[in-house]
Copies of this chain bind each other. A is one copy, B any other.
């Protein structure tokens, strides 16, 4: 086998994914390892996960064929100020035999590039947290939200979980018997779906169940909200609608009112055919009627494309995008 190969990595908090692609879009290998963010996992651990994923992706590839590579990483900017992290990445890269240079991009840019080849546009991501980023000439320009659960992440999985519990508490305070969704949540929180003879005892049990765990774990109730909304629960549907409005509001802080550039939707709550994704599409369609909306795709392939488009043999980066990052959804 001959011909140029590009490598892309998508380094997340819980997993690291690598892909090796030819410029005709042939997938020569993929690799997967644990979370490899040097900020959260330490430089050594990050290097181990990186080289594990890379080695797997390159199992049948001569490293000399790899001419470009890119890594997508949350908080990529911090790596500049982290010589240990950078050195660990360099080591992982050379340990698997790679000699070409590689670039490090923010995960938001890589997510964007996994959904579109357009140089300008917006990415909106909702998972446990939520963030929006404006992309200009395939660089991250302005950012909105991503402020964390205490101050932001409006419309995120954390937000959905917290608001679901708040709606339950409001019902309990008002003496309203919780509906099916509230009872389901109550069961998850307290182990019982009924309200105590003194409803305040149930309120206290709910508050204690939440505060016993790290706040961000409220995000674990987001799938319950989504399921209940799909099943027709009006409270859950209302929460999804409010979440979508928050998310689109965040994007609107950085995206021009008359933009017709693409909007890419990423993160577990927005990719695929999710109800929150549908609500965001509807709301975005009202605000930016001329804008195409794309789901984010394979982040590692997006990173590979970001690396490949600068190679001298690449004439048409947009055509290359269609080969390397086939549209999903």
A residues sitting closer than 8 Å to B (CB atoms) are 142-145, 147-148, 150-152, 162, 165-166, 169-170, 173-175, 199-200, 203, 207, 210-211, 215, 250, 253-254
Contacts and interface: CB of A to CB of B under 8 A. Distances in A.
7 contacts: A147-B169, A147-B207, A148-B207, A150-B210, A173-B250, A174-B253, A175-B254
- Copies, count: 2
A190 to B, nearest CB: 14
Contacts of A150: 162, 210-211, 215
Nearest to A176: B253
Contacts of A173: 142-145, 250, 253-254
Contact of A151 (B152, B165, B200): B165
Given A143-B200, A200-B143, A151 B174 contact: no
Contact of A174 (B148, B152, B254): B254
Contacts of A199: 142
Task: Name the residue in A147, A165, A199 with the highest tally of chain B Cβ atoms < 10 Å from its Cβ.
Answer: A147
A148 B211 contact: yes
A3 to B, nearest CB: 40
A170 B253 contact: yes
B142 A175 contact: yes
Contacts of A162: 150-151
A151 B173 CA distance: 13
Contacts of A200: 142-143
Contacts of A253: 170, 173-174
Contacts of A170: 253
Contacts of A250: 173
Contact of A152 (B147, B166, B215, B254): B166
Task: Name the residue in A150, A174, A175, A199 with the highest tally of chain B Cβ atoms < 10 Å from its Cβ.
Answer: A150
Contacts of A175: 142, 254
A138 to B, nearest CB: 18
A58 B144 CA distance: 60
Nearest to A208: B148
Contacts of A166: 147, 151-152
Contacts of A210: 150-151
A203 B147 contact: yes
A164 to B, nearest CB: 11
Nearest to A174: B253
A203 B145 CA distance: 9
A177 to B, nearest CB: 14
Contacts of A203: 143, 147
A151 B218 CA distance: 10
Contact of A207 (B142, B144, B151, B169): B151
